[in-house]
Structures are given as structure tokens and as C-alpha cells.
């Protein structure tokens, strides 16, 4: 239950982190709430860790006219405690409150969660629903990747070797925005079995329904989203078929869980 | 060794630690503060919960070196804390402990519940307490003790900022108006417009433990040209993310497949035997490899057969079979493996399509997965989904 021997250094700047990351088998650690257990179990055996939790440039929070931009090392508890400006009707604050437990939220970071890309985690699904864009930074410079293209599968992202997430830009929604979020967990604070999430913004003509906690990346239900915006609760009649068509390999229990999570999330916006 | 300076229970402390030493080990081993208990050492049980810079945190998954400069408070450091004094008394009166192992973490979490939440009810208390596991009390006494202190302090407590809304989210009375979704430019359409199309892989697990994945790739190419490319193993290997051919001797190929899954990586070294059936236009590559780190073996077989669909169109039937042996064999059934193998196969077919279209595929980005990660996936389920 003790990690292998490795070196550790906290990066004060992003450039410093990128330089350190160029070494062999060097891993990034932000809040360490997923990496910590994996280190203790020796599933991860790095030669060195670069600590990003206190890197000032990654702790920035910016409230601009069209979007809220947060640094990768902003912690879940900061969303929960209302320290991050709200881009979409309080959705992020609500979601943050349901991540693991308070003692995890005080240390775990949004960028760490995204980079880890556990399909059952909350932020990957939420930020896909909110159409967030990530700024990734590597030695060659920075590039923007939308959430829809960032997560490629379980624990797999568009991050290249030596690249880190610098910030996350979440577009601001209009006053008329509504959202729903429902996750099915066996016990409070556990990873989800299924997540249903949606953002409906008539003011921006934006509607996105997302199925999370699948075996891979969150799935944006594009056609269903269009139908839901146009037809409202009547679209729910096609939900089961949509879920089945989207997850052809899923077992019946999993299909049912995904359908129920989506239905309950949708009913938070469209009472029926 | 790393030098660290901390404030522990109000006292400045300096020490020298290995980078891998977690905070709980530092506190217990070097400071002698054994009130912080270690249960699971994986951030699950909550016994090691202490205050780090005033906020509850798991000291078993926080590196001591990463907490350099922090203000730490352990269960030994609450003598002058009025909330903790009340909690100690209430835990005693309500039988909030039996063996006492979880108590240090319970008390730190309980104090956070009392101080941070605005008069939480029983459901809210149980919710907030869910990250601390107790195997003796059934939680009843603990919840009652916290409720007592919440009630005692409610009257005197200054409003703690914005009240925290109750859990759960009610539906509004009125649904949003109907609207037409704005058209979006799809940013996800990548380069390499396919001159090949790939079917969604279908996966099954045989009774004897082989995972079998089939897919069909269709390329706008005559069969003879495609055959030429697909019997050239170094070329085919270039299309396989993470694959590397190190030597070819006759029908025997030495190679390496590097696989990464999140922060974990592993390299399978092995040999492949190639059987070419020119009449049936079929190639079978079979072999096995071992991942030295996990001591896991994988046997695998890749079969592809070419069929003419039209003059300029060839279908390639691809079948991937693999079997993990040893204690990790069960993971072949995991949905995570299915998802991963699907992506790997699609990447392979996609790269091949681009290659056939004369595009430069560069260095195929490694698709990486390791059996260690599968182990993590399964362990995670077992640890966190109890």
C-alpha cells in the first residue's frame, strides 16, 4: 500500500511544468484524488511527479462577457462553494456538490478529473453538456479542443505526451437556460453507473442531451436533443429506442439505468 | 528526500520525507501523531481525514511533499475548538463510537458538517457523512450526536454566507418553450477524409475466454492493390497505433505493442506468425506477448480477408481475437476493454484507409491500454461501488 519510489516537484509555472514533463515516465499530479489511490496500489509507477495543484496560472478564474474560464487546478469545492462565477443556471455548482465526498472535493481539481477521463466521473459529462472548450498547452504551444473531441474513450484523451490542460472555457448561457442532471450511484459519492445530463437554452437555441458513465466517452444525443427542443416532453417516448441504438452492446440492466437517468434529468426540465 | 515545513496543530514543524511519503505516514511515523488512523490507504474509508489548510482532506492520498507550507490539524489538535468539544461530548453520550477506529475521521467530518452546513437535517448529515465508513455503530449514534450539536449551535451560529440549498432538484412548473436548435458547425470532422469506411465493431466473448471482435472496412480500391499493401507487414504495423516491428524473419515477426490507459502504460513484447493464403486473399497474424510489469500474457490473432465488392471497391473482413491469461483473464469481458478494442480496431482501419488514399499517416498516435488499467477499472468498481 505504499507507492514506488519517485521524485516529486511542485511546478510554480506552466513552463516549468512542461519542462519537467519532458522526462521519461513523468506524470502530472493535480489534486491527486484519483492518482493517489493508483499510486498507493502501485498501478502507477512513475519516475517522477509534477505537482500542479498550486501552480498560480492554473488557479485563475476569469469572468468574461461570453464565457467563464477556469484554470485546470480549480478545485471541485470552489465550484460547490460558489467561488466560480456561474455560467449556466447553477448547474456546475449543483454537479460539484455531488462529486465524491467533501474531503475529496477540497483537493480534487476540474482539470485533473478531465485529464483522468474516467467515464463515470461528473465533469466529463457535465462539460460536454455545457459545450466547454479546453485549452491544452504543450512545449509546441497551446491549442483549443472542444470537450466533444477531447475525451476519446475510457481514460483516453486528446492530450499528447508532454501536454497538460491549462484552462477550461465554459460558454455563458442566456437567462432562459434550464438544465437537468441525474446520476445513478449505488451509494452516495461513488462513481456513477449512469448519468443523464441536459442543457436547454431557448434564448440561444441550444439544446444538448448527454448520456454519461458509459464504457467510453459521454455520448451527445444530437437527434434526440433536436426533437426534445421542438417537441418537449413528447420526445420522451423515443428515449428508450435512442438509448438502445446508442449502446447496442450494453446489457439490459445498463440500458435501463441509462434510460432512467436520462428520463429523470429531462423531467427536471420538462415536467411530465 | 524532500525538506518540508508545515504547521501541525499550531506548531511549526520541519521534516525530511521521501517524495512518496503520504501525509498520514509523516504525521504518524515522524510526528508520533497516531490519532490519525489509516484504514484503506486508498482514499475510500475516511479514517485518515484531517484538516489541510482548514478543509477536510484525506491524508493517505496527499503526499507530504505536496503539502509543504500547509496548515495541518489532526484529531490531537482540537483541544481549544468549541465545536469539537461539543462533538466529543455528544459522541460519548450517543454512543457514536465502539472500537474507535473511524472516530478521528468521523470527528473531523462531523465538525465540517456542523460548521459549514446551515442546520442540516438527518438526510443531509447522512449524505455528508457518506465518505466515512464505520463498521461498528451502524451510524445511528454518530448521526444522533451530530444532530445534537447541530441543534445546540443553530441558535448561536452566525449566518454562514449563502444558505446551501437542499439536495435534489425539483422540476419547474412550466417547461421551456418549443424551439428549433441552431445549426452548428461540427468541429469534430477531422482530417483524412476517409477513402475507407469502417463498420462499428461487433464484439463477443467465446466460452473459452477469447474475446472476438469483427468489423468490415470498405475501401475504394481494387482488390489487387489492397492485397499488395496488406501483405506488407511493416506497412500494416504502421497503421496499428502503438505497434512497432523490430525484426522480420521469414513468416515470423518480432514486435512490440505499447499500450497506455490513463496514467498507466505497459509494453507487450512478442512474436507474430504470419500465414498468407493468396488464393483466399486472407492473412492471419497470430502471436503472443507478455507485459513484464504486470506479468500478464496475451494471445492474439488478427485475420483479414479481402472481397471484391465492385471493380474499384474492396471489402476487408477484419477479425480480432485475443485472450488474456492468468489472474486478469476475467477483464476481457469488461466493457472498458470492449470500448478500447473497438477504438483500436477503428483506428487501425482508419489509418489503413488513409494510407491507401496516399495520405501520410505520420506516426500513428499510440492507442494505449494496459491490463494494469483494466485491473484499476475493476478494482475501482470493487472499491468505490460497494
Residue range B5-24: average pLDDT? 97
More confidently predicted of B124 and B210: B124
CATH number at residue A250: 3.30.390.50
- Cβ <8 Å between B343 and A35: no
- Taking only Cα atoms into account, the Rg of chain B, rounded to an integer number of angstroms, comes to 30
B73 in reach of chain A (CB within 8 A): no
- Cβ <8 Å between A107 and B57: yes
Q: Which of A37, A39, A88, A250 to mutate to test the interface with B (most CBs of B within 10 A)?
A: A37
Sign (positive/negative) of CA torsion A218, A219, A224, A230?
positive
Assess whether A147 and A239 both reside in one domain. Answer: no
Q: How confident is the model at residue A23 (pLDDT cuts 50, 70, 90)?
A: confident
- pLDDT exceeds 90 at position B370: no
B residues 261..280 contacting A (CB < 8 A): 261-264
Q: What is the pLDDT of residue B162?
A: 52
Q: Which of A32, A146, A156 sits opposite B61 (nearest CB)?
A: A32
Q: What is the pLDDT of residue A217?
A: 93
- The residue from A112, A141, A171 where one domain ends is A171
With helix as H, strand as E and coil as C, how does A22-84 read?
CCCCEEEECCCCCHHHHHHCCCCCCCEEEECCCCHHHHCEEECCCEEEEECCCEHHHHHCCCC
- Cβ <8 Å between A189 and B20: no
Kindly report which listed range (A107-111, A149-153, B116-120, B232-236) carries the lowest average pLDDT score: B232-236
Q: Which of A94, A103, A186, A207 to mutate to test the interface with B (most CBs of B within 10 A)?
A: A103
B317 in reach of chain A (CB within 8 A): no
Chain mean pLDDT for chain A: 95
- Cβ <8 Å between A103 and B46: yes
Kindly report which listed range (A258-262, B207-211, B250-254, B264-268) carries the lowest average pLDDT score: B264-268
Q: What is the pLDDT of residue B385?
A: 46
Q: Which of A37, A45, A117 sits opposite B61 (nearest CB)?
A: A37
More confidently predicted of B298 and B193: B298
- pLDDT exceeds 60 at position A162: yes
Assess whether A68 and A158 both reside in one domain. Answer: yes
Q: What is the pLDDT of residue B2?
A: 94
CATH number of B2-77: 3.10.20.30
CATH superfamily assigned to domain B82-154: [2Fe-2S]-binding domain (1.10.150.120)
CA separation for the pair B53, B76 (Å, rounded): 16
What does the pLDDT look like over B111-162, one tens digit per residue? 999 999 989 999 999 999 999 999 999 999 999 999 999 999 987 766 555 5
A269 in reach of chain B (CB within 8 A): yes
- Cβ <8 Å between B188 and A149: yes
Q: What is the pLDDT of residue B386?
A: 36
More confidently predicted of B202 and B178: B178
- The residue from A123, A145, A171 where one domain ends is A171
A225 in reach of chain B (CB within 8 A): yes
CB-based contact A218:A212 (threshold 8 Å): yes
Q: What is the pLDDT of residue B326?
A: 57
Q: What is the pLDDT of residue B331?
A: 52
Assess whether A105 and A190 both reside in one domain. Answer: no
CA separation for the pair B138, B94 (Å, rounded): 12
Residue range B360-368: average pLDDT? 53
Q: Could you give the percent of chain A with pLDDT greater than 70?
A: 100
Terminal C-alpha separation, chain B: 37
Q: Where in chain B is the domain with CATH 1.10.150.120?
A: 82-154
A188 in reach of chain B (CB within 8 A): yes
Residue range B156-173: average pLDDT? 65
Assess whether A24 and A102 both reside in one domain. Answer: no
Assess whether A139 and A160 both reside in one domain. Answer: yes
Give B384's contacts in chain A (Cβ within 8 Å).
Answer: 190-191
What does the pLDDT look like over B41-68, one tens digit per residue? 999 999 999 999 999 999 999 999 999 9
- Is residue A1 domain-resident? no
- pLDDT exceeds 70 at position B376: no
Q: What is the pLDDT of residue B189?
A: 40
CATH number at residue A95: 3.30.465.10
Q: How confident is the model at residue B187 (pLDDT cuts 50, 70, 90)?
A: very low
What does the pLDDT look like over B261-302, one tens digit per residue? 555 555 667 788 888 898 889 988 888 877 666 666 778 888
Assess whether A153 and A232 both reside in one domain. Answer: no
Assess whether A234 and A165 both reside in one domain. Answer: no
Q: How confident is the model at residue A209 (pLDDT cuts 50, 70, 90)?
A: very high
Record: fold of B196-384: Alpha-D-Glucose-1,6-Bisphosphate; Chain A, domain 4 (3.30.530)
A36 in reach of chain B (CB within 8 A): yes
Assess whether A211 and A258 both reside in one domain. Answer: yes
Torsion of CA A78, A83, A87, A91, to 10 degrees: 50
Assess whether A261 and A199 both reside in one domain. Answer: yes
Interface predicted TM-score (ipTM) over 0.90: yes
Sign (positive/negative) of CA torsion A225, A179, A77, A11?
positive
Assess whether A91 and A22 both reside in one domain. Answer: no
A174 in reach of chain B (CB within 8 A): no
Residue range A123-135: average pLDDT? 98
Instruction: Tally A–B CB contacts below 8 A.
Output: 225
Cell readout for A265 is 434529468
Give A270's contacts in chain B (Cβ within 8 Å).
Answer: 171, 175-176
Closest-CA distance, A64 to chain B, in angstroms, reads: 22
More confidently predicted of B386 and A256: A256
A residues 110..169 contacting B (CB < 8 A): 116-119, 146, 148-149, 152-156, 160
Q: How far is CA B2 from CA A25, A133, B19, B298, in A?
A: 20, 37, 6, 40
Phi, psi of B168 (to 5 degrees): 85, 165
What does the pLDDT look like over B65-96, one tens digit per residue? 999 999 999 999 999 999 999 999 999 999 99
A108 in reach of chain B (CB within 8 A): no
With CA atoms as reference, the chain B residue closest to A31 would be: B62
CA separation for the pair A104, A97 (Å, rounded): 11
> Which residue matches cell numbers 521534516?
B15
Assess whether A228 and A251 both reside in one domain. Answer: yes
Residues of the domain holding A32? 7-51
Into how many domains does chain A fold? Answer: 3
Q: What is the pLDDT of residue B367?
A: 46
- pLDDT exceeds 50 at position B194: no
More confidently predicted of B152 and B198: B152
Amino acid at each position: 500500500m505504499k507507492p514506488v519510489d519517485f521524485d516529486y516537484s511542485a511546478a510554480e509555472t506552466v513552463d516549468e511544468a512542461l519542462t519537467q514533463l519532458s522526462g521519461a515516465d513523468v506524470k502530472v499530479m493535480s489534486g491527486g484524488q484519483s492518482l493517489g489511490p493508483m499510486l498507493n496500489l502501485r498501478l502507477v509507477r512513475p519516475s517522477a511527479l509534477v505537482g500542479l495543484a498550486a501552480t498560480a496560472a492554473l488557479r485563475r478564474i476569469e469572468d468574461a462577457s461570453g464565457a467563464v474560464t477556469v484554470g485546470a487546478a480549480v478545485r471541485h469545492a470552489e465550484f460547490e462553494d460558489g467561488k466560480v462565477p456561474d455560467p449556466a443556471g447553477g448547474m456546475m455548482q449543483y454537479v460539484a456538490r455531488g462529486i465524491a465526498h467533501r474531503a475529496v472535493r477540497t483537493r480534487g481539481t476540474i482539470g485533473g478529473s478531465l485529464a483522468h477521463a474516467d467515464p463515470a466521473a461528473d465533469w466529463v459529462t457535465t462539460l460536454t453538456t455545457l459545450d466547454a472548450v479546453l485549452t491544452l498547452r504543450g512545449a509546441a504551444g497551446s491549442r483549443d479542443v472542444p470537450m466533444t473531441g477531447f475525451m476519446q474513450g475510457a481514460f483516453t484523451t486528446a492530450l499528447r505526451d508532454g501536454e497538460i490542460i491549462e484552462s477550461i472555457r465554459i460558454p455563458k448561457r442566456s437567462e432562459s437556460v434550464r438544465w437537468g442532471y441525474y446520476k445513478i450511484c449505488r451509494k452516495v459519492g461513488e462513481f456513477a453507473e449512469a448519468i443523464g445530463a441536459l442543457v436547454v437554452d431557448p434564448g440561444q437555441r441550444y439544446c444538448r442531451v448527454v448520456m454519461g458513465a458509459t464504457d467510453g466517452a459521454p455520448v451527445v444525443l444530437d437527434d434526440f436533443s433536436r426533437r426534445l427542443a421542438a417537441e418537449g416532453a413528447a420526445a420522451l417516448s423515443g428515449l428508450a429506442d435512442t438509448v438502445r441504438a446508442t449502446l447496442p452492446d450494453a446489457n439490459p440492466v445498463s440500458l435501463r439505468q441509462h434510460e432512467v437517468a436520462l428520463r429523470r434529468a429531462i423531467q427536471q426540465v420538462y415536467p411530465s | 528526500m524532500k525538506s518540508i515545513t508545515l504547521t501541525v496543530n499550531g506548531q511549526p514543524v520541519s521534516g525530511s520525507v521521501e517524495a512518496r511519503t503520504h501525509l498520514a505516514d509523516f504525521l504518524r511515523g515522524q510526528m508520533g501523531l497516531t490519532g490519525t488512523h489509516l484504514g484503506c490507504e486508498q482514499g475510500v474509508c475516511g479514517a485518515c481525514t484531517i484538516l489541510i489548510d482548514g478543509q477536510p482532506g484525506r491524508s493517505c492520498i496527499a503526499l507530504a511533499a505536496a503539502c509543504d507550507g500547509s496548515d495541518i490539524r489532526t484529531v490531537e489538535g482540537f483541544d481549544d475548538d468549541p465545536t469539537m468539544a461539543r462533538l466529543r461530548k455528544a459522541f460519548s453520550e450517543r454512543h457514536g463510537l465502539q472500537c474507535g477506529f473511524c472516530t478521528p475521521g468521523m470527528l473531523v467530518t462531523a465538525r465540517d458538517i456542523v460548521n459549514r452546513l446551515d442546520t442540516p437535517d438527518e438526510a443531509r448529515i447522512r449524505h455528508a457523512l457518506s465518505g466515512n465508513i464505520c463498521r461498528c455503530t451502524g451510524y445511528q449514534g454518530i448521526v444522533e450526536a451530530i444532530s445534537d450539536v447541530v441543534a445546540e449551535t443553530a441558535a448561536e451560529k452566525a449566518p454562514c454566507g449563502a444558505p446551501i440549498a437542499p439536495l435534489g432538484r425539483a422540476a419547474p412548473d412550466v417547461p421551456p418553450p418549443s424551439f428549433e436548435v441552431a445549426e452548428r458547425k461540427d468541429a469534430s470532422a477531422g482530417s483524412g477524409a476517409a477513402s475507407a469506411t469502417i463498420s462499428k465493431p461487433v464484439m463477443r466473448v467465446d466460452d473459452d475466454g477469447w474475446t472476438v471482435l469483427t468489423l468490415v472496412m470498405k475501401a475504394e480500391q481494387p482488390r489487387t492493390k489492397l492485397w499488395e499493401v496488406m501483405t506488407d507487414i511493416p506497412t500494416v504495423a504502421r497503421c496499428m497505433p502503438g505497434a512497432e516491428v523490430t525484426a522480420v524473419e521469414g513468416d515470423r515477426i518480432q514486435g512490440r505493442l505499447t499500450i497506455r490507459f490513463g496514467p498507466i502504460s505497459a509494453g507487450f513484447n512478442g512474436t507474430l506468425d504470419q500465414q498468407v493464403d493468396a488464393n483466399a486473399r486472407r492473412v492471419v497474424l497470430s502471436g503472443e506477448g507478455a507485459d513484464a510489469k504486470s506479468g500478464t500474457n496475451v494471445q492474439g490473432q488478427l485475420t483479414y480477408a479481402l472481397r471484391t465488392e465492385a471493380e474499384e471497391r474492396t471489402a476487408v473482413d477484419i477479425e480480432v481475437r485475443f485472450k488474456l491469461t492468468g489472474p486478469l483473464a476475467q477483464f476481457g469481458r469488461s466493457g472498458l476493454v470492449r470500448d478500447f478494442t473497438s477504438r483500436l480496431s477503428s483506428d487501425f482501419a482508419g489509418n489503413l484507409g488513409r494510407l491507401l488514399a496516399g495520405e501520410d499517416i505520420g506516426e500513428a498516435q499510440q492507442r494505449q491500454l494496459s491490463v494494469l488499467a483494466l485491473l484499476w477499472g475493476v478494482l475501482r468498481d470493487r472499491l468505490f461501488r460497494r
